[in-house]
């Protein structure tokens, strides 16, 4: 019998959802509502066998958005009872040092998610808003929080502590948390399956390269190092985020350029990365510009690849023995040239790509037969991972 989980990713003015068949992994329905609370909202709903529904309308708040979703499910199916809905999974960005796995949401957990807001001011309050509205909309079902940070709580102190005054760090909960954990967990598990070996024996470097980008070193199924930090600003060069910079740049911009902290926050989070370097944050456009010979696009791609290569090198050292490198997310899954650039020159370290396999599509090995470390493209599926974690929790608690 079908069992499904309703997976929710709530932003401050958006709501993304997917009804996932836990056992087959199929999407039974999905959609996105944007510009909630604004004068021009847009709502989209899709399900297999129906024409995509798109409406421009005012959506006043998240509860209103859920009402719209229920209306679409009523009209176009699937029926939630027929789909045997067993629970609701909420993506929550910051779980702090407390949540090392998915948890059933009660009032206390909701409060703790709210208490973590200072560490993720843009995300946790929005996630919490989604949780509150969903609990009002689906009062009879278990709600589960799945944290982006949870997978990384296995990172040892030597890797998650920053070398600053320890009492300041403790007081303000400053440490590396890491993000994209759901994706890194899904891909590293899948990697072990694809290699046909037990998860505990496989060491993988996962490169999640989307608009946000992060790398994780996974030893035997456990994250031991990751490139994002206390916030998702650290690490690799991203669509609009700088990734690592000397923190001294911030003081310099404040003191010498007279920029406010908010302006620097916006600069580094929203106007940097590919966007800052080239004027567009979309990898496809940057690649097109580079192919047309535009120097700043060519240089931007070199910067992205340089950072990636250095990260891979560091993680090879941290893991000691690496079995596989897995590329995932929008750029990782689709950009053969970026994969090739990122690993160029690493042949001496046992990493050799096969150009023809690299140019293909779908889940596959892209390394050459003689490559000591296998390289793969493994499409991520965060919704399915969330749905599975909800199902596991519901099964183990006997909750209905």
* Catalytic residue annotation: 148
Q: Please report how close the Cβ of residue 282 comes to ligand ADP at its closest, in angstroms.
A: 4
| Closest CB 232 distance from ligand ADP, rounded Å | 10
- Residue 38 annotated as binding site: no
Spatial distance between the Cα atoms of 396 and 389, rounded to a whole number of angstroms = 11
Collect all residues with Cβ–Cβ distance below 8 Å to 196 and sequence separation of at least 6.
none
The answer to whether the CB of 272 falls within 8 A of the CB of 233 is no
Per-residue binding letters, 7-46, with ligand ADP (x by CB under 6 A) = ----------------------------------------
Residue with Cβ nearer ligand ADP (183 or 203): 183
Nearest 5°: phi and psi at 273? 60, -145
Please name which of 98, 102, 90, 137 lies closest in space to residue 115, comparing C-alpha atoms: 98
Q: Which of 102, 230, 233, 329 binds ligand ADP (CB under 6 A)?
A: 329
330 binds ligand ADP (CB under 6 A): yes
CB of 358 to ligand ADP, least distance (A): 13
* 80 vs 283 by CB, closer to ligand ADP: 283
d(CA 201, CA 216): 16
Is 209 annotated for ligand binding? Answer: yes
Please report whether residue 359 would count as binding ligand ADP according to CB under 6 A: no
Give the Cα separation of 27 and 39 in Å (integer): 30
Known binder of ligand: residue 253? Answer: no
Whether residue 284 is annotated as binding a ligand: the answer is yes
Q: Are 312 and 343 in contact (CB under 8 A)?
A: yes
By beta-carbon proximity to ligand ADP, the closer residue of 338 and 390 is: 338
Q: Is 195 annotated as a binding residue?
A: no
Q: Which of 94, 50, 400, 55 is nearest to 64 (CA)?
A: 55
List the 27-34 sheet strands across, edge first. 53-57, 41-46, 27-34, 15-21, 4-10, 85-92, 143-147, 103-104
175 is in an annotated binding site: no
Dist. CA 188–CA 125, nearest whole Å = 29
Of 37-45, 153-161, 163-171, 206-214, the window that binds ligand ADP (rule: CB under 6 A) is 206-214
Query: CA–CA separation, 104 vs 87, rounded Å?
Result: 10
Span interacting with ligand ADP, options 5-13, 123-131, 229-237, 277-285, rule CB under 6 A: 277-285
Site string for ligand ADP, 227-266 (x = CB under 6 A): ------------x---------------------------
Q: Is 210 annotated as a binding residue?
A: yes
Read off the tokens for 218: 């996974």
Nearer to ligand ADP, 85 or 215 (CB): 215
The reply, when asked if residue 211 is annotated as ligand binding, is: yes
Q: How far is the CB of 75 from ligand ADP (least distance, A)?
A: 28
Tokens of 219: 């030893």
As measured in angstroms, the least distance from the Cβ of 379 to ligand ADP is 10
Q: How far apart are CA 207 and CA 217, in angstroms?
A: 9
Tell me if 331 is assigned to a ligand binding site.
yes
Write out the two tokens for 311: 């990260």
Task: Enter the tokens of residue 110.
Answer: 């909701």
Q: In whole angstroms, how close is the CB of 335 to ligand ADP at the nearest point?
A: 4
**Closest among 204, 62, 51, 52 to 137, alpha carbons compared:** 62
Place of tokens 């892209």: 366
Q: What's the closest the beta carbon of residue 301 comes to ligand ADP, in angstroms?
A: 11
Which of these ranges, 42-50, 118-126, 282-290, 306-314, lies near ligand ADP under the rule CB under 6 A? 282-290
Binding status of residue 212 toward ligand ADP by CB under 6 A: yes
Token pair listed for 104: 């059933």
Taking CB under 6 A as the criterion, the residue among 284, 296, 306, 364 binding ligand ADP is 284
The gap between the terminal CA atoms of the chain, to the nearest Å, is 15
Which SS3 state, helix, strand or coil, does residue 327 take? strand
| 16 or 219: CB nearest ligand ADP | 16
Number of residues that bind ligand ADP (CB under 6 A): 13
Task: Say which residues have a Cβ less than 8 Å from residue 232's Cβ, sequence separation at least 6.
Answer: 93, 179, 212, 214, 241
- State yes or no: residue 269 binds ligand ADP (CB under 6 A): no
Binding residues vs ligand ADP (CB under 6 A): 210-212, 239, 282-284, 287, 329-331, 334-335
Task: Write out the binding residues.
Answer: 9, 16, 91, 208-212, 282-284, 330-334, 382
Task: Write out the binding residues for Mg(2+).
Answer: 9, 382
């Amino acid at each position: 019998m079908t069992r499904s989980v309703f997976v929710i990713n709530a932003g401050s003015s958006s709501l993304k959802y997917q009804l996932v068949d836990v056992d087959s992994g199929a999407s039974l329905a999905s959609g996105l509502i944007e510009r909630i609370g604004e004068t021009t909202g847009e709502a989209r709903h899709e399900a297999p066998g129906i024409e995509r529904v798109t409406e421009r309308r005012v959506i006043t708040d998240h509860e209103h958005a859920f009402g719209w979703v229920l209306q679409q499910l009523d009209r176009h199916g699937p029926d939630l009872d027929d789909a045997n809905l067993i629970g609701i999974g909420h993506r929550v960005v910051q779980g702090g040092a407390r949540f090392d796995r998915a948890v059933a949401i009660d009032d206390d957990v909701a409060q703790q998610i709210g208490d973590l807001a200072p560490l993720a001011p843009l995300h946790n309050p929005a996630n919490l808003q989604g949780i509150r509205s969903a609990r009002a909309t689906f009062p009879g079902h278990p709600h589960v929080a799945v944290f982006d940070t949870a997978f990384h709580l296995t990172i040892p102190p030597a890797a998650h502590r920053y070398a600053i005054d320890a009492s300041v760090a403790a007081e303000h909960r400053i440490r590396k948390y890491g993000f994209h954990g759901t994706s890194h967990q899904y891909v590293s598990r899948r990697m072990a399956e694809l290699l046909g070996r037990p998860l505990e024996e496989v060491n993988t470097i996962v490169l999640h390269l989307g608009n946000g980008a992060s790398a994780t070193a996974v030893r035997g199924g456990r994250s031991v190092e990751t490139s994002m930090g206390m916030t998702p600003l650290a690490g690799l060069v991203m669509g609009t985020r700088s990734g690592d910079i000397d923190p001294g740049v911030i003081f310099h911009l404040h003191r010498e350029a007279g920029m406010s902290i908010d302006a620097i926050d916006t600069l580094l989070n929203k106007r940097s990365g590919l966007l800052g370097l080239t004027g567009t944050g979309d990898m496809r456009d940057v690649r097109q510009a580079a192919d047309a010979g535009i120097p700043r696009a060519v240089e931007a791609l070199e910067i992205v690849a340089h950072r990636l290569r250095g990260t891979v090198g560091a993680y090879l050292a941290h893991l000691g023995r690496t079995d596989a490198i897995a590329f995932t997310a929008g750029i990782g899954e689709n950009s053969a040239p970026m994969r090739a650039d990122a690993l160029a020159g690493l042949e001496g370290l046992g990493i050799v790509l096969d150009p023809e396999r690299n140019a293909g599509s779908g889940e596959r090995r892209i390394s050459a037969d003689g490559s000591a470390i296998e390289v793969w493209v493994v499409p991520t599926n965060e919704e399915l991972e969330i749905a599975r974690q909800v199902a596991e929790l519901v099964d183990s608690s006997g909750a209905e």
